[in-house]
Structure 1
């Protein structure tokens, strides 16, 4: 057993997990038959896993997922005729290191948000900082931030720095010229500098008009679509489907 002073020092250097595993070993005689190296390996493995789990939980909490319990293994591939191989490849998160975008298209209730959140959680499991936000909420944040000194710059910097950004309800509302300029700056700064998942009810052919139909629309679309993976969320209303399970 370790004494009180050693416990205090371990807590001071944030190694509470080490106290837990040593206490556990002290109570079980089976550990007495193990060598020092074997016991130390078990201690280190336990501490590593505990700290990893806490970091993942923290990343998931800070990501603010709309569906925090979403899980890639619970996506109904067969029923929705989804491209399972493509989605599992995306869930490996190599698209993030490659700074590629994902566009998830589908009607209301088809499971776009669930799919995006499940991919985002896989990113968190790999230690990747992720942020989920609805586009209307982002634009509201921007509207409030821009009246503050350097507010626009801070808002852009904040959302540029996430390795993975999930923008849900993309283009669901009409955009003002000011909002279009903000979105252009955001996608421009994130271009080749991060990955973004766009969830939308609108087909890509409809985006140009919803982005104002001008030069900014061209520029925004070019930076989003170039090299992006396009996913259809399927033809089933997942809300009704889940209720009838």
Structure 2
């Protein structure tokens, strides 16, 4: 479509570069039989698609994925990783995000755990959810550095609590020390029923309580973390969570929305292994 220079400049001034490009790129011969309304509709559709792709690309870049090209639609790679195509395809609609469900990808080194959680986080970005990927060692380093800043750790907690989808890689690769374990508890508490968390770990569910120190923090973190377990056994295992009174849930949500403060002293630890899943 031929547009004069003033119209082009006005579209640029309004930030409508996608729409301008769509108009300019219309083929005159192919669109000759269309009326003005049809041509405008085609241009708007093309501009909207470009705008959406740009927005999704921005969300994916800000997610800082380890594998930015990981994609659930690349189903030919899943058989190599020992995971059912049908199972992963069922996660593509991101209903697990809407329900604030968490997922654990568990398997040996090199089995594709990190790829899977990156693909799930990228799929969340495609559905316009705000996501973030981080390795636990890097998160711990940020936590240590935050101690040198005024309210640094509280701000760090609020930032990672705010992501709709948080992908935590190398979960429990090293047992967290007591103070960082208290931070992880607060992070899980703040995200409970408000966001979805993805975990990639080598350790099966039965070993995680001990890796978390085996005390009350371990009980609480496992209780607030995963509902679904994605492993290389070609099925999605449901990991039940402890049933809590409704009033207790409401009070926790109200408290989380205030500030989610980090306790100044760690909660005392007791040897009370939990038979319940995360």
* TM-score > 0.5 by shorter chain: yes
**Are 2:81 and 2:112, in contact at CA under 8 Å, matched by a contact in 1?**
no
1:163-193 superposed Cα distances (whole Å, 9 cap, x missing partner): 1000000011131111011000000000000
Q: Does 1:161 align with 2:158?
A: no
Structure 1 distance, partners of 2:178, 2:82, is 38
TM-superposed CA distance for 1:3, in Å, is 2.0
The secondary structure found in structure 2 opposite 1:33 is coil
**Are 1:106 and 1:234, in contact at CA under 8 Å, matched by a contact in 2?**
no
Structure-2 residue corresponding to 1:45: 45
**Are 2:22 and 2:44, in contact at CA under 8 Å, matched by a contact in 1?**
no
The secondary structure found in structure 1 opposite 2:30 is helix
TM-superposed CA distance for 1:83, in Å, is 3.3
1:109-139 superposed Cα distances (whole Å, 9 cap, x missing partner): 0000111111111111111111010011011
Instruction: Give the aligned length.
Output: 232
Unaligned residue ranges in structure 2 (runs of 5+): 235-278
Bigger helix share: 1
Structure 2 distance, partners of 1:131, 1:231, is 19
The secondary structure found in structure 2 opposite 1:90 is coil
TM-superposed CA distance for 1:88, in Å, is 1.5
Structure-2 residue corresponding to 1:229: 228
93-102 vs 170-179, which moves further? 170-179
TM-superposed CA distance for 1:79, in Å, is 4.5
The secondary structure found in structure 1 opposite 2:32 is helix
Give 1:1-245 correspondences, 5 Å limit: 1-25=2-26, 28-75=28-75, 76-225=77-226, 228-233=227-232
The secondary structure found in structure 2 opposite 1:29 is coil
Structure 2 distance, partners of 1:28, 1:5, is 20
TM-superposed CA distance for 1:42, in Å, is 0.2
Higher relative contact order (CA 8 A, sep 6+): 1
The secondary structure found in structure 1 opposite 2:148 is coil
Structure 1 distance, partners of 2:90, 2:142, is 33
**Are 1:171 and 1:200, in contact at CA under 8 Å, matched by a contact in 2?**
yes
70-79 vs 97-106, which moves further? 70-79
